[in-house]
Each structure stands twice: as structure tokens, then as C-alpha cells.
Structure 1
Amino acid sequence: MTDPLTETPLSSETVFDGNLLHVRRDQVRLPDGSETAREYIVHPGAVLVVPLLDDGRLVFERQFRYPLGKAFIELPAGKIDPNEDPLVTGQRELLEETGYTAREWRYLAALHPCIGYSNEIIHIYLATGLTAGNHRRDHDETLETFTQALDEALDMVRRGDITDGKTVIALFWAEKYLNGRWR
């Protein structure tokens, strides 16, 4: 059965084709039969990792984000490479950015951060049984890592010190999961 709110694509064109982002403009038929244009970003998808140390602290990153001109506190994350399984992306990104590997991986959730203008999906994993090692950051990737207890990180969200949307959502998911409320 077709959803009565579905918009039907009639044509599609590439507006911009960059290294990470691709912008498309589609002509669509609306449910009432009229036509309009929809512009959106095609994104390869991403994975965010909640790295939980045995002592209960989480591994965070502080990284400069050019579009906003300042450093942000985030959990490790990165884009999915072509034909890559999201779990493999999470394992790769955790190692590349922090140097940690994890023995156990638990899928927590998926989120769509920008539904009005992008098809991006972010898969959230909890990584436990961490072992420290050497990071393997990309040549253009500069960041600092640090650890923080979950309750202190949630206080940082409340104070506005952590504002990255994917990180905030992942922290709330982790809190519910680790407290046994959501399984």
C-alpha cells in the first residue's frame, strides 16, 4: 500500500558533486497531482561510536569544525566508505581517530539528522572492552581525545558545552541503554 503522503520523482539532476557532499534537484509530483522541485544533499551515511572504557568513562574528541569556526566536543564518528558495512566503519573510525579497538560492539540506533535537506543516516554503536593503541588519523585530521564520565558528559550537554547533535543523541541513548531502560 502506498503512503498517501508520498511524492513521486519525475526527474533528477546533479547541482553539485563534491568530495563528500552531492547536491541534487528533483522534480516531483505531489500527492495532489501538482509538481514542485526538491533540493537535497546525498550523503554516504556515517557511524558514531560511543566508546566505553572498563571504568565507565567515555572517550571523546575535541575537533575544529570549519563551517562554524570553532572546536566542538564529539564522540568518534565518520562517513561510511562505498560498500562498507557500518560496523566496519565504526571499527575503522574508532581506531583511526582515537587509537582504541573494542572487543564488543552493540548497535544502539539509527538517526536521520537532516530530514529536510539530506538523506544522511547515522548508525550509533556502543563499543566496550576497549584496548588503547596508536591512532591512524588522516593527514588533514587534527583532534584531541579525552575521557569523561557519562554523568559529567550529560552535565556538559545541559550546560551547552556539548552541542553536536549526533553526540547529544548518542549520549542520551547510551544513558538509557546502560541504565537498563532501553534494550
Structure 2
Amino acid sequence: MNKRPTILATRDAPDSPLRRAEEVDLVFSNGERRTYQRLKGSGFGAVLIVAMRDPETVLLVREYGVGVDRYELGVPKGRLDGDETTEQGANRELKEEVGYGARKLKILGTLSLSPSYMTHLAHVVLAEDLYPERLQGDEPEELEVVPWRMDKLHELLARDDVTEGRSIAALFMAREYLAGRYRPA
């Protein structure tokens, strides 16, 4: 395995069309030097919540995605606030988007989004032992909550409105964890 490159310097990318871009000067273990551009993360990270209504059923949300100009079905998700832990943020987002809180929360791992050029990370959180509680969120409209059986994930993949890779990965992480085949570090 190659040794990780050394970061020599970072600075805002002055000529980038992307508002939050930075340049990163690197030197690789073989002496090669390169300057890459990457998108800087904003905020304190994000959470993806796999909310289990019961041992067989996950609660998904249908939400408009302006990037693809359609409604997408996926797990509830959102950005963390600066004063909250991953679990607190997951529970808040769950209450805002689904109308439930969770008595049991387990961090299953972290997913990146385009690690070649983005610093963004999202924590996958399994939420169990749900109870009704709603908080006001920042969504412009109420989200439709869709129960889905975990043993039917293969059917979910065939849908045209399920394309967000992080949601798909989070669901499979949870399925494997619940089946005892995956244990987070």
C-alpha cells in the first residue's frame, strides 16, 4: 500500500468556478508533486438515519431533490448543528423529517461523497425503539413517510426514484448489521 501523500499547503482556489473550493499542494511518497482542487465541507458533517419502525420495516422519506429535479425516496438525512453529537443530530433530524424520535441510536459508520474532490462526510445512524414526536424542520413541505420492508431492498433498487447512493449504502449497512454480519469498528 502506498504511503499517504503529505499536504504541503492549502489555500482558497482563486480561479475556481466553485464557491467553496480550495487548492491542496501534495507530495507523494515517490516525490511527485501535484496541486488538487477540492470542495470544502460546510458545517459539522451530516447524518443519514436508518429508522426501524419494527425489526422488519424501515421508514423512508420522499423528498424533492433539486439536483435531479424530481422526488427521491431515501433515508432521512440532514446536517449536524455545532452544539450536538452525531446521535443528537440524528434524533433531531428524525423528529423533523419523520415525526419520530428514537430511544436507541447506533452509529454504523461514515460515508463519503466523492472523496476524490469533496471533504463531506455523513454518519450512518441506526435508529430503533421509535416513539412519536415531531419537531419543526426546515423542509419547505411535509415529507411523505414510506414504510419499506428490509427483506425487499432488492425491489427498492429497481425503482426510478431511488438513486441516492448514500441512502442505498446506509440501508445495506443497517441490513448487514441487523443480520449480525457487520460490526462497526
1:34 and 1:180 mapped to 2: Cα distance? 44
Q: Which moved further from structure 2: 111-120 or 86-95? A: 111-120
SS at match of 2:147: strand
- State the identity as a percent: 27
If the length of structure 1 is used for normalisation, what is the TM-score? 0.84
Segments of 4+ moved more than 3 angstroms? 139-142, 158-161
Measured after TM superposition, the shift of residue 142 of structure 1 is: 5.0
SS at match of 1:67: coil
Contact kept, 8 Å, 1:98 with 1:135, in 2: the verdict is: no
Q: Deviations over 1:120-158 (max 9, x none)?
A: 222111111111233422154653222111123431114
For 2:114, give the aligned amino acid: C
Equivalent in the alignment of 1:39: 37
Equivalent in the alignment of 2:53: 53
2:48 and 2:159 mapped to 1: Cα distance? 22
Q: Deviations over 1:32-69 (max 9, x none)?
A: 33422111122232111111013632111111111111
SS at match of 2:54: coil
1:134 and 1:87 mapped to 2: Cα distance? 17
> Which blocks of at least 5 consecutive residues in structure 2 are unaligned?
none
Contact kept, 8 Å, 2:47 with 2:90, in 1: the verdict is: yes
If the length of structure 2 is used for normalisation, what is the TM-score? 0.83
> Which blocks of at least 5 consecutive residues in structure 1 are unaligned?
none
Measured after TM superposition, the shift of residue 15 of structure 1 is: 3.5
For 1:49, give the aligned amino acid: I
For 1:163, give the aligned amino acid: T
Q: 1:109 to 1:55 in 2, by over 3 A?
A: closer
Alpha carbon RMSD of aligned pairs, Å? 2.3
